């Protein structure tokens, strides 16, 4: 599903730039649940942005589902994000002006789904993450855990094969974290490929595989095909 070879990312700044990734290589098979761990600034989020086609590597190769990401146009990358990738962010990144239901509808709107179709699916997804009855509430009226559930429902809207979660429990209390992780593991068990960036060693231990990073490199691997 995912193949990275010698991924590099250098951010502009200073004389020679600031390297965030220095030759990261790994592959991930469909259906794997992978945790990416490491201290702050080790390049986890940068890696996730590249895997999610939100950013481009400065060097190396990245293949998603057999397609070379470096050859994809901006439109192809957008379409891949729309149909094949779901994102869950630490800060939720919901649109506060919209209701929970409308937030979940957004990706389907860009996919050209009919109004009835997307509302029906959004209701289903919100019920699935335990937010039945809260569809009309705006993110500001929901708790942190509820917001993250809306974000998960939104990520699942167009039935992607890959879910990328960047510290999904970073802003949550332990009870909410547990609930969110239960949903993510459930998705993983359902056959979805999940890549989750986390600080939490305990959570990483529950993942099928753990890629530990330090200073832009992979420090250690646990489980799976390296």
Partner 1 sequence: MTRALYNAARTGLAEILAHKTRSTLSFLAIAAGSVVFIDAFSAIVATYARLESQKEVSGMARMKISQNNSRSVADVDDYQPPPVITYDDVLRLKERVPGLYMVSPEGTNWRNVLEYDGQRVLTRVAGITPEWRKRDFVYDLKGRFIDWHDVDQKLRVCVLVRPAPPEPSNAFFKTMRQKYNYMGGYDMLVTHNDLLGRVIKIDGINFTVIGVLDELPPSRKPPRIWWSGGDYKALAPVTTLMHYGVLRSHNSLDVSIDAGDEKGFDEAMRLVRNFLKVRFGDEDFFVVENQMDAIKESMSRNISSSLVTISLGMLAFIAGGIGIMNVTLATVFARTKEIGVRRAIGAGRGDIMLQFIVEAVMLGLIGGLLGTALGWFWGVPAKVMLGMPPSPIKVWMPLVSVFIAALTAFVFAIYPAWVAAGLKPAEALRAE
The residue (of 2 and 204) whose beta carbon lies closer to partner 1 is: 2
CA distance 102 to 120: 11
Minimum CB distance to partner 1, residue 76 (Å): 10
Minimum CB distance to partner 1, residue 67 (Å): 16
The residue (of 58 and 222) whose beta carbon lies closer to partner 1 is: 58
Residues that bind partner 1 (CB under 8 A): 49, 52, 54-55, 74-75, 78-79, 81-83, 87, 89, 93-95, 97, 106-107, 109-112, 114-115, 154-155, 157-158
Q: In degrees rounded to 5, what are phi and psi of residue 178?
A: -60, -45
Minimum CB distance to partner 1, residue 204 (Å): 24
The residue (of 5 and 97) whose beta carbon lies closer to partner 1 is: 97
Question: Which uninterrupted H or E stretch holds 164?
Answer: strand 162-166
Kind of pairing between the strands at 18-28 and 59-64:
unpaired
Residue with tokens 């390297």: 19
Minimum CB distance to partner 1, residue 113 (Å): 9
**Alpha helix (H) residue ranges in the chain:** 44-51, 74-83, 100-110, 115-128, 144-155, 174-189, 201-206
Length of the chain: 226
The residue (of 26 and 89) whose beta carbon lies closer to partner 1 is: 89
């Amino acid at each position: 599903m995912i193949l990275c070879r010698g991924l590099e990312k250098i951010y502009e700044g200073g004389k020679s730039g600031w390297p965030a990734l220095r030759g990261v290589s790994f592959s991930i098979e469909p259906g794997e649940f992978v945790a990416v761990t490491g201290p702050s600034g080790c390049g986890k989020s940068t890696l996730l942005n590249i895997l999610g086609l939100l950013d481009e590597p400065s060097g190396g190769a990245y293949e998603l589902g057999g397609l070379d990401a470096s050859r994809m146009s901006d439109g192809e990358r957008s379409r891949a994000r729309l149909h094949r990738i779901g994102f869950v962010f630490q800060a939720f990144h919901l649109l506060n002006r919209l209701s929970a239901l409308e937030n979940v509808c957004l990706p389907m709107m860009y996919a050209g789904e009919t109004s009835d179709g997307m509302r029906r699916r959004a209701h289903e997804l919100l019920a699935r993450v335990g937010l039945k009855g809260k569809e009309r509430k705006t993110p500001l009226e929901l708790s942190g855990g509820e917001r993250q559930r809306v974000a998960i429902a939104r990520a699942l809207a167009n039935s992607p094969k890959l879910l990328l979660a960047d510290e999904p429990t970073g802003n949550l209390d332990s009870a909410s974290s547990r609930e969110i992780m239960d949903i993510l593991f459930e998705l993983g068990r359902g056959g979805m490929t999940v890549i989750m960036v986390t600080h939490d060693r305990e959570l990483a231990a529950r993942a099928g595989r753990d890629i530990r990073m330090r200073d832009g490199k992979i420090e250690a691997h646990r489980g799976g095909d390296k």
